[in-house]
Every structure is written in structure tokens, then in C-alpha cells.
Amino acid sequence: MKKIIALIAVICVLAGVSTYLFISQKNMEKELAELRTIAQDNVTTQNSIEEKEETEKNEKESDEVNTNENSEDNISNNAQNSLENEVKPVIKNELSDFDLSFLKMEQDEKNLVYSPLSIKYALKMLEEGAEGESKAQISKLVGEYTPTQYKNNEHMSLANSLWVRDTFKDKIKQSYIDTLDAKYAAELKFDSFKNASNINGWVKNKTLGIIPNILQDNDVEELNFALINALAIDMEWIQKFTQDRGESTYPSTEYEHEAGIDVYDYPVVSKKDFNESNKEYSVMEFTKVVNNYDIIKEIGEEKIKEIVTDDYLKFVGVIDGESVGGGDFTLGGSEIGTQYTKEMAEKELDKYLPKYLEELGKNYHLVGDTTDFGVYYDDDVKVFQKELKKYGNTTLEFIGIMPIKTSLDQYIDSINNEKINNIINNIKTKAKDFEEGVVTRITGFIPKFIFEYSLDLKKGLINLNVKNVFDSEHAELSNISDVEGIFIADAKHKTNIEFTQDGIKAAAATTLTGAGGGSPYNYYFKVPVKEIDLTFNKPYMFIIYDKENKDVWFIGSVYEPLRYDEDTTVASDDF
């Protein structure tokens, strides 16, 4: 009997992600013996699928979804056997347990990354071609999720296509072609499948040139059709970690009271140890200063004038005593050695003090930083958040989460979508989010990483109860074709990711330069400062998602960051 083989490939890219679902004829028992063994023990016939009701969101009620109360314990004890009953249906506009499911299943204390969005696209397209129990299993997993229609630009691309062998084009149902076109804008391509060059060319074009070759020639030799989704981004941070910012207005990092002009030059890309390994890794440093100390209210204008006047008279030598404030010049711009009289000094102070008080007032609730970012911290985790530039109508952001008290694998076992969504919703970015009455200074670093990962997608989907499509006796894909016996023979998912000082899949680094010079007299008040260490020096998980639509583009874990001696994203003299 002639083999009927098809390929569904989903490619979602930061540097590159690929997912393969091979569809084959049911008489290929020898090739799929292992798959049948996995699936056969679990397959049961069902006449109906139990529907799960969800409560509507209400201002007066909690947003809770009815799920198995023992989800976390079951996942922790045996993720592969329990996830099919525990994973909540995917719900648009919030991170779901489905997004976290493969993170829980594939814990091996090594770097991991995959794209929930890519997998959802693959499952939704497959769902369109399925019916019966095969469709019900997919529908139960993906729920009411509807893939977002993103607008392509030079930094972001999302495209779908249906490839059909020239001699097989009459076997694909027109209704399936029309559905993919209407819902996914899928291009219809006919090909001889003599080699993979045409598909690879299309993928390269749709992934911004990041993936030049996704298939080998022998991958397509027996194909009759292929369904491909390609999604790629190449985005920069709004504010890079490494750049020459020159003169910048932000609170002094010593006394935190003044919105003065400061010139600084220090490496925000450097090398640090990670996880007590005694190895050097490339990291990106950051600082944020939030001034919630109202110095004018606390000390009073008249008292401030009195303190500054007395100190300045000491500074210029009019009265005896040691000055606390200082500078290379007086307020009038003359050198300190110039003879000053008390009358001259008081005249200068009359002009200086109103501006000085105005600066102090403006500095209250001022947020200064060396790179823009948000934070969340409690007794259990440290969280670092940073936005990428907005391209078109899409803004993606990176969120790193490092557990403090437990290992990363233990923390991942304990989390669910509600816990992670709570963290995301409580990230602090504005002055009002921080403690009042003190200056909060946040310092730390986060390691860079560049790696790839292959996800065992077939095994994962079977554990999530999407199994009939993988069994030749139970697969129901008649909405794709009337040819009997087609089923999903394999599913693979591969991801590459780059997280550097310039952005996600950034191409170059910027060298810091600075300047020095004299400054006029200034007085710095000491104020209460709360220090927060946001150092990421242990394994952590991360999420990259759409701020508006909440689509999770990527999720993963970092156990082995980018080694300093292997970092080619910056020049050696930048460290």
C-alpha cells in the first residue's frame, strides 16, 4: 500500500524553534511500535467529553478556575503520569498551566527553553483537521484559546503555510484549506518534495533569515503534505544594558537627595561567578534608585536654608569650620582660592537656594536607573522585568524569576499559573510601588545566555492526554483528507535563544565612555536608604510574553549561563 506521509512543522524563533508532527499511514506498525506501546495502554473509547465550567470574572468575585485540587502535589510526585488531568485549559489573556507544563515535565537541571505560543499554534491547526475523540483531546487542552493575529514587520514575523505534494493536491480537502486560510492566513504551496530547498527557503524568509535550513532532503522525500508555522523576532531593549549615556539626570547614589547632573562610567556588562561554580560568566549589571523621601517635608525649608548657608560660608572660608558640601568651584563659578566676603557669599546664596530647594522638591518620587527595569521581591523569589522596544502594536517583555530558599526544580514543582500571574501583576516599576519615607536602591546583575534545546513534544503531549492522534487505530484526521489511516507519527520541538545586553537576538554591543570635570559647590543631605540586592546568581526561570495579549512566546530555565570566555557579543575591552 502506498505510504501517505505528511509533516506539520511549527517554527517559532528567537534564534530558532522548530516543531515537527509527522503524519503517516496506519500500516507502518514496525516503525511505530514504540509509539503504540506508549499510547495503547492509555487509549480508551469515550462517547462524550466532560466539559469544564469556568466562573466569569466579576469585580465582586475572585477569578478562580475549577480544577483538580491536588494538581501541584500530583505534578511534583509524577509529572508524566498526572499532567493530563491537572493542566487547566488554555485561557486567552493570562499565563496558563499549559504554558508551564513542559517546564514541569522536562526538569533535568539544565538549560531549557520552548515556545508555548508555537505549540498552541500547532495544536490549533491540528485541531482544525481532527474530529471525534482526537479533536476532543486537543480541545480540552487548548480550551478557548484563539491564536493572536500579529502584524509583521522587519523585527517580527509570523506566517503559516500548507505545503502539498503535486500528485497529492486532490487528496487535501478544500474545506481544510479554506479554514486555514480564513483563520491563520496560511499560504498554499505545491511542491515536488524532491528536496527541502523550497520549504527551507520559505522558512528562512519568514524567520528574518535566522533559520536557513530547518529540514534535510530525506525529511521530505515521502511527504505528501506539510503544515508549517514560522514565527520570529529580533528585538532590542528599550534601553540597552551597555551604552554611553553621557550626562544623565538621576539621584545621587551616595545621599540620594539631589536631581543633579552626574557623569558615570562603569561596566554594566561584566563577569561574575554563578551558582558557586568558581567559573566566570558574562552578566549584565543594573541599578535603580527610587526616592520616596520628602526631604523638604521632613527637614523644612527654613532649616535646609540655614544648614546650607552655614556650610557654604565654611566652604568659602568666611567662617571657621569644616564644610560637608563641596566642589571645585564656588556658586559664582570662581576658584575657591579667590577672596570672598560674607556679603558676596550671601548674595550668591540668595540666587542659589531657591533653585536648590526646587531641585529637592522635583527629586521626590524620582526614579533613576542605569537601565530601565521592574522588580518584585519577597521572602521566596527575586524577579527582574525588562521591556523590549515596541514594534508595530506589540511589546514583549522579559521576566526572570529566581527562587531564594529552594532549588529551581523544587520551585517549578510548586508553581501554577495563579502564582506566576500574581508575581507578574505585582512587579514594581513606579515610585508609588515602593516604600514611602525612604530612598530605595536596587542593585544586581543577571547572566546572559545563548543556548538551544530540543523538547520531547510527542511524549509531552501524550502525557497531557493528547494521544489518540498518535495512535494509528484511533487517530481521526478526516477533516484533512479522506485517505484512511493517517495519524501523527512524531512531534519534535527545537528552540534557540539569545539573551544579551542589546536585546533578544541582538547583533552588536556598545562601548561605555565617560567624562569628568569640575563641578560647582553642592550640599548633600544624608537620608534613609533601603538597599535591595537583586543579584541573579543561582539557576532561575524566565518568561517572554506579550504585555497586551499575554501570549507566552517563550519560557525556560537557566542553569548554565554564557561563559565569559565564550562571549562574542561584546569586545574584550568592554569588560
Write down the pLDDT at residue 137: 95
Q: Any idea which architecture 236-293+366-448+502-574 has in CATH?
A: Roll (2.30)
| Spatial distance between the Cα atoms of 510 and 518, rounded to a whole number of angstroms | 27
Write down the pLDDT at residue 553: 87
Q: Of 215-224, 238-247, 265-274, 430-439, which one has max mean pLDDT?
A: 430-439
- Write down the pTM of the prediction: 0.73
Write down the pLDDT at residue 274: 93
Sign of torsion, CA 356 361 362 367?
A: positive
Q: For residues 74 and 22, which has the higher predicted lDDT (pLDDT)?
A: 22
**Beta carbons of 100 and 90 less than 8 angstroms apart:** no
C-alpha torsion 165→168→170→171, nearest 10: -120
Q: Are strands 449-455 and 487-499 parallel, antiparallel or unpaired?
A: antiparallel
Q: Which of 301, 190, 211, 266 is nearest to 13 (CA)?
A: 211
| Spatial distance between the Cα atoms of 128 and 147, rounded to a whole number of angstroms | 13
**Which range (20-24, 244-248, 308-312, 479-483) has the least confidence?**
244-248
| Spatial distance between the Cα atoms of 499 and 562, rounded to a whole number of angstroms | 9
Cβ neighbors of 560 (< 8 A, separation 6 or more) are 110, 111, 449, 451
Write down the pLDDT at residue 254: 38
Q: For residues 506 and 438, which has the higher predicted lDDT (pLDDT)?
A: 438
Q: Which of 359, 316, 353 is nearest to 334 (CA)?
A: 316
Cell numbers for 105: 515535565
Cβ neighbors of 314 (< 8 A, separation 6 or more) are 320, 321, 322, 323
Cell numbers for 12: 517559532
Cβ neighbors of 338 (< 8 A, separation 6 or more) are 330
Write down the pLDDT at residue 282: 92
Q: Are strands 396-403 and 540-546 parallel, antiparallel or unpaired?
A: antiparallel
Cell numbers for 322: 569644616
Q: For residues 282 and 477, which has the higher predicted lDDT (pLDDT)?
A: 282
Q: Is the pLDDT of residue 504 over 70?
A: no
- Give me the mean pLDDT over the 360-387 stretch: 82
Write down the pLDDT at residue 334: 67
Q: Is the pLDDT of residue 406 over 90?
A: yes
Integer angstrom CA distances of residue 553 from 115, 158, 257, 397, 491: 5, 12, 41, 10, 19
pLDDT confidence tier of residue 440, bands split at 50, 70 and 90: confident
**Beta carbons of 312 and 523 less than 8 angstroms apart:** yes
The beta-strand segments (E) located in 380-431 are: 381-387, 396-403
The beta-strand segments (E) located in 101-219 are: 112-114, 156-165, 187-191
| Spatial distance between the Cα atoms of 296 and 363, rounded to a whole number of angstroms | 10
Amino acid letter for position 442: I
Cα 156-10-408 angle, rounded to 5 deg: 85
Write down the pLDDT at residue 483: 80
Q: In this structure, what are the phi and psi dihedrals at residue 523, rounded to the nearest 5 degrees?
A: -115, 130
- Give me the mean pLDDT over the 222-232 stretch: 75
Q: Which of 170, 121, 175, 100 is nearest to 9 (CA)?
A: 121
Cell numbers for 397: 517583555
| Spatial distance between the Cα atoms of 541 and 408, rounded to a whole number of angstroms | 8
Write down the pLDDT at residue 248: 38
Q: In this structure, what are the phi and psi dihedrals at residue 220, rounded to the nearest 5 degrees?
A: -110, -5
Cβ neighbors of 252 (< 8 A, separation 6 or more) are 258, 260, 262, 524
Cβ neighbors of 333 (< 8 A, separation 6 or more) are 520
Q: Percentage of residues in the chain with pLDDT exceeding 70? A: 71
| Spatial distance between the Cα atoms of 238 and 385, rounded to a whole number of angstroms | 12
Q: Are strands 529-533 and 439-447 parallel, antiparallel or unpaired?
A: parallel
Write down the pLDDT at residue 262: 33
**Which range (185-199, 242-256, 501-515) has the least confidence?**
501-515
Q: For residues 138 and 292, which has the higher predicted lDDT (pLDDT)?
A: 138
Task: Please give the mean pLDDT across all residues of the chain.
Answer: 74
Task: Report the chain's C-alpha Rg in angstroms.
Answer: 30
| H or E segment to which residue 489 belongs | strand 487-499
Strand partners, 487: 24
**Beta carbons of 50 and 26 less than 8 angstroms apart:** no
The beta-strand segments (E) located in 313-448 are: 367-369, 374-377, 381-387, 396-403, 439-447
Write down the pLDDT at residue 37: 42
Domain range list for the chain: 5-46+68-87+111-138+156-233+450-499, 236-293+366-448+502-574, 297-363
Write down the pLDDT at residue 221: 79
**Beta carbons of 115 and 12 less than 8 angstroms apart:** yes
Cβ neighbors of 205 (< 8 A, separation 6 or more) are none
| Spatial distance between the Cα atoms of 281 and 264, rounded to a whole number of angstroms | 24
Write down the pLDDT at residue 497: 81
| Spatial distance between the Cα atoms of 470 and 468, rounded to a whole number of angstroms | 5
- CATH code, 5-46+68-87+111-138+156-233+450-499: 3.30.497.10
Write down the pLDDT at residue 163: 84
Q: In this structure, what are the phi and psi dihedrals at residue 283, rounded to the nearest 5 degrees?
A: -130, 160
C-alpha torsion 340→342→343→348, nearest 10: 70
Q: Percentage of residues in the chain with pLDDT exceeding 90? A: 25
37-71, pLDDT tens digit by residue? 433 444 333 333 344 344 444 443 444 433 333 33
Sign of torsion, CA 133 137 140 144?
A: negative
Amino acid letter for position 426: N
Q: Which of 197, 130, 120 is nearest to 160 (CA)?
A: 120
Going by the DSSP 8-state scheme, the letter that residue 351 receives in this structure is H
65-121, pLDDT tens digit by residue? 333 333 333 333 343 444 444 566 665 557 999 999 999 998 888 999 888 888 888
For residue 105, give the 3-state DSSP assignment: helix
Q: For residues 513 and 154, which has the higher predicted lDDT (pLDDT)?
A: 154
Q: Are strands 235-236 and 503-504 parallel, antiparallel or unpaired?
A: antiparallel
Write down the pLDDT at residue 515: 23
